[in-house]
Amino acid sequence: MELRDVLARRRMTRSFDATPVDQDWLDECCAEALRAPTAGHSAGVRLYSVGATHVSEYLRVATDATWRETSPRAAGLARAGGVVLVTSRPGDYLARYAEADKVRAGLDERESWPVPYWHADAAMATMALLLLVEDAGWQSTIWGSFRHATDILRWAGIAADEELFASVLIGRADGRDTPSRSLQRHVPSRRERVRRVP
Ligand SMILES: Cc1cc2nc3c(=O)[nH]c(=O)nc-3n(C[C@H](O)[C@H](O)[C@H](O)COP(=O)(O)O)c2cc1C
């Protein structure tokens, strides 16, 4: 598929048909997504694949019982065929920017970063993953997962120096998605959000 078509087709999908994602393929897809750029070549992003047989366990950790019982989306999301956890390692960035060729940027302390590039890099890899998934004929949705981040990291056995950026739930759309209320918001068109510097 052409890049433009993949970009245009990708939409968050929150109801899947329970087709399992092949985890070997998913791992390769994650490795491809990590072609995304990283600041100073810090390479501080990690992607963890969760196979289909562990999706329900993941959801038990990543959500609370009330949400699982009441959300109209719970059932459709529970039919995801795989999940990818996107993490970043801020320490890799602090170490990289303390190296001789970068130290003058003054970014060797976490508090000094006006834009934390570990989040930027995690977002770049995530977008690459969303596009690769779409290109392969699958669909996905990204979840912030903030409230349960510590539990998710612990469940996945991820080291304490990594931060969860998001989870990406992947599967085949079953056409029963309830569109997000976010999409009803009136926002400036994409063209209006492109400005020229006078
Ligand atoms: C950083 C980020 C976090 C998001 N977190 C969530 C989330 O926690 N739950 C959710 O349902 N959608 C989440 N979304 C999806 C957005 O709601 C969605 O991208 C937006 O409404 C536009 O819809 P579209 O991607 O289908 O064009 C997130 C998107 C981004 C970029």
For ligand 1, atom 22, the nearest C-alpha belongs to: 183
| Assigned domain for 44 exists | yes
Token representation of residue 194 = 């492109």
Token representation of residue 178 = 């309830």
User: Of 163, 166, 167, nearest to 93 (Cα)?
Assistant: 163
Cα-to-centroid distance, 142 and ligand 1 (Å): 6
Please indicate, yes or no, whether the overall pTM of this predicted structure exceeds 0.95.
Answer: yes
What is the arithmetic mean of pLDDT over 3-24?
97
Q: What contacts 147, CB < 8 A, 6 or more positions away?
A: none
Give me the CATH number covering residue 24.
3.40.109.10
Residue of 9, 67, 86, 142 with the most ligand 1 atoms within 8 Å of its CB, for mutation: 142
| Assigned domain for 42 exists | yes
| Assigned domain for 136 exists | yes
- Residue range 92-126, pLDDT digits in tens: 999 999 999 999 999 989 999 999 999 999 999 99
- Whole domain around residue 11: which residue ranges? 3-184
Number of domains, the chain: 1
Cα Rg, the chain, nearest whole Å: 18
Token representation of residue 111 = 């508090």
| Assigned domain for 196 exists | no
Task: Give percent above pLDDT 90 in the chain.
Answer: 94
For ligand 1, atom 31, the nearest C-alpha belongs to: 142
Cα-to-centroid distance, 182 and ligand 1 (Å): 8
| Assigned domain for 195 exists | no
| Assigned domain for 65 exists | yes
For ligand 1, atom 10, the nearest C-alpha belongs to: 143
| Assigned domain for 194 exists | no
Q: What angle do CA 66, 72, 75 make, to 5 degrees?
A: 85
Q: Judging by DSSP bridges, how do beta strands 163-171 and 45-50 pair with one another? A: unpaired
| Assigned domain for 197 exists | no
Question: CB under 6 Å to ligand 1: residues?
Answer: 11-12, 141-144, 166, 180, 182-183
Q: How confident is the model at residue 39, as a pLDDT?
A: 98
- DSSP assignment of 117-149 equals HHHHHHHHHHHHHHHHHHHTT-EEEEE--GGGH
> Whole-angstrom Cα distance, residue 121 to residue 134?
20
Cα-to-centroid distance, 170 and ligand 1 (Å): 14
